[in-house]
Structure 1
C-alpha cells in the first residue's frame, strides 16, 4: 500500500503575503481522496521525533536557536518565513514524516511526504522557506539504523539543492544530484556531486533527454540501496519562481521515468514534493497529483 505522510500542521497559517506556499498542503490530499487515487488508509500522521535525529544533520547551536526562537533577525529573514513556535514544530514534524516514510518505502518500494523537500536548509542555517533538511535527516536516520548504506538524492526541483550539497559535501556515502535552472535561486550555487544547470525556457524534450541520459548511468555508478526523490512542480513554464519551460505532461513524464527506473531496479524511493508556485493553484495540484497517480499505477 502507498503510504503518505500528512499532518494538519502542514497547513500552518501564515501572515498575509506568506500564505500562498501553504495552500497546496491542504488541497493536494483532498484532491487525491476526491478522485479516488488514495483513501484515508494511505495517509499516516508524523509526530515530533527525537531531537538526536535532527542533530545528526544540523548543528547544536542552530537547533537550539530554532527551538528557543532565538535566531538573530537576519538569519530568520533569510528563511523567508516569520519565525514562530508553530513553524518550527511544522518543520520538525515534516522531517519525521520523511524519516517514517523511508521505512514504508523499504517495505512497499515507495513512500511520500505531502510536504518536505526542504533542500535549502544548511547544517547551521535556513534559507528559502527551509528550516530543517528533511531528506538529509532521513538519510542519516537510515544509515544510523543500518537500513541503508549508499544513498542517492535525486533533486529535480527547479532550484539547486544548495543545502543538500553543503551537508553532504565531504560524504561519499550520500551522492547528491541536482538538475535545476541555471539562473534560478539560489544565485550562489553550492557544488553537488553532480549538477546539471539548465538554461531558461528548457522544454520537455530537452529536459527529458538529459534526464534519461543521466539517471540510469548515475544509478549504475553510485549503486545506491536507497533513493530520495525531490519532485518539485516548479519546473513548469507557468511557475512564477521558476524559469524553465516544461508542460504538465513533461513534468508527468519526468516523474514516470524516475519512478519506473526505481521500480525496475528495485531500489526503494522516498518522495518529497518540493516547490510549486504557479499563479493558478490547479496547475500545482495537478502536477503533484500526477506523481501520486503514477506511483499507484507503477507500484500497486
Structure 2
C-alpha cells in the first residue's frame, strides 16, 4: 500500500463536475468542484496526479438500480414532482454531469484499492435511492463504489462512513439487505431528510453541536465500526456542511474541527491498514472561496497539500 509519497495519492476530477447551468441563486454551489481543482493546482499539485473518469451509462446503472427510474430520468421522462424532489431542472447536461460524477467515485474506489487512498473532487450523492432521487442526488455513487470494491477478491466488507450533516438515507436503504456493506451516518438530528432511514450505526447530533462533542462522536463511531464490522475497505463522505458558516448545516464545527475529523478518519484507516476512498460531500456556503477553504481540509488531512 503506497501512501507515503503525496504524489502517489490519486485525485479524481473532470471539468464537467462544475459544468451545469442552474437558475440564478440556485442553492447548489456547482462552481466549487472546479474551484477546488484550481486551488489544488495553485498549491503545486501536478495535473498528472489527477485521473479523469469516463461517464457511466444508464445501462450500467440499471443493473443495480431501478431500470424504470434510471431510464426515465436519463431520457427526461421523469414526472415533474420527482424532478422537484431531486432539486434540479432536467437537462441533458445534468445527466451527463451526474453519470460522470458517479463514475468518478467508482474510479476513486478502484484507485484506493491500488494506492491505499484516493480522493474524488465531487461525490457523496447519498440521498439517491434505487428508484428515486432526492436532495440534489440523482444516482447513489457511494453504494456503487462499495459494490465495485467488493468485486476484488480480498475485499468482503466495505464501511461507508458518512459525515455529511444530512443523513445518508439512500445509502442506508440500499445497503440494508447487503451484509457486506456497513453504513455509519453522523448527522444533524433536526435536518434534511425529515424521514430518516436506519443505518447500521446512526449518530444524530443536536443543533449547535461544537467541536469537542462532535470529534468525540466521530472517534466513538470509528471505534464501533471497526471493532464490530472489521471492514477491509472504507468509503468516506467528508461533507463540510457541518461547518459553523454553512447555510444549511446548523452545527458549529470550526475549520480546525473539520481538519481534525478528516485526520482522524485517515489515521484510523492507516492504523488498520485499510484502503480509503474519500469524496467531498456537501457544503453550502455561497462564498465559494470560503467554501473551498473548508473542503481543502480533506486534502490537507490526506497529505496531498500542506
Equivalent residues in 2 for 1:245-260 (5 A)? 245-260=252-267
Matched with 1:43 is 50
CA RMSD in angstroms comes to 1.7
Counterpart mapping for 1:210-249 below 5 A = 210-249=217-256
Q: Distance in 2 between matches of 1:90 and 1:137?
A: 16
Q: What is the CA distance between 1:85 and its match in structure 2? A: 1.1
Which residue does the alignment assign to 1:285?
Answer: 292
Q: Which whole-Å CA distance do the structure 1 matches of 2:95 and 2:188 have between them? A: 29
Is residue 83 of structure 1 aligned with residue 85 of structure 2? no
User: What is the distance in 1 between the residues matched to 2:87 and 2:57?
Assistant: 26
Mapped partners of 1:138, 1:53: distance in 2? 13
Task: Tell whether 2:275 aligns with 1:294.
Answer: no
Deviation, structure 1 residue 90: 1.0
Equivalent position SS for 1:21: coil
Which whole-Å deviations, capped at 9, do the CAs of 1:234-254 have from their partners, x for residues lacking one?
000111111111000001100
Map residues 1-300 of structure 1 onto 2, 5 A cutoff.
Answer: 1-12=8-19, 13-18=21-26, 20-36=28-44, 38-146=45-153, 148-296=155-303
* TM-superposed deviation, 1:214: 2.4
The superposition leaves residues 18-49 of structure 1 with CA deviations (integer Å, 9 ceiling, x where unpaired) of 2751011111110111112x210111110123
Pairwise CA distance, 1:51 = 4.2
Flag the 1:259–1:166 CA change in 2: closer, same or farther, 3 A. Answer: same
Cα displacement (A) at 1:14: 1.8
The answer on whether the counterparts of 2:35 and 2:289 sit within 8 Å (CA) in structure 1 is: no
Distance apart, 1:56 and its partner CA: 4.1
Q: TM-score, normalised by structure 1?
A: 0.95
Change in Cα spacing, 1:297 to 1:79, as seen in structure 2 (3 Å) is closer
Question: Residue deviations 1:71-113, cap 9 Å, x none?
Answer: 0000011101001111111111111111111121111111111
Distance, in Å, in 1 between the alignment partners of 2:96 and 2:217 is: 38
Alpha-carbon distance, 1:10 to partner: 0.6
Shift of the 238–271 alpha-carbon distance from structure 1 to 2, 3 Å rule, reads same
| C-alpha distance in 2 between matches for 1:16 and 1:33 | 28
Q: Which runs of 5+ in 1 are unaligned?
A: none
Q: For residues 265-294 of structure 1, give each alpha carbon's deviation from its aligned partner in whole angstroms, at most 9, with x where no partner exists.
A: 111111111100123323311111111122
User: Where does structure 2 lack aligned partners over 5 or more consecutive residues?
Assistant: 1-7
What's the TM-score, normalizing by structure 2?
A: 0.93
Query: Alpha-carbon deviation of 1:53?
Result: 3.9
Secondary structure, counterpart of 1:112 in structure 2: strand
Q: C-alpha distance in 2, partners of 1:290/1:90?
A: 25
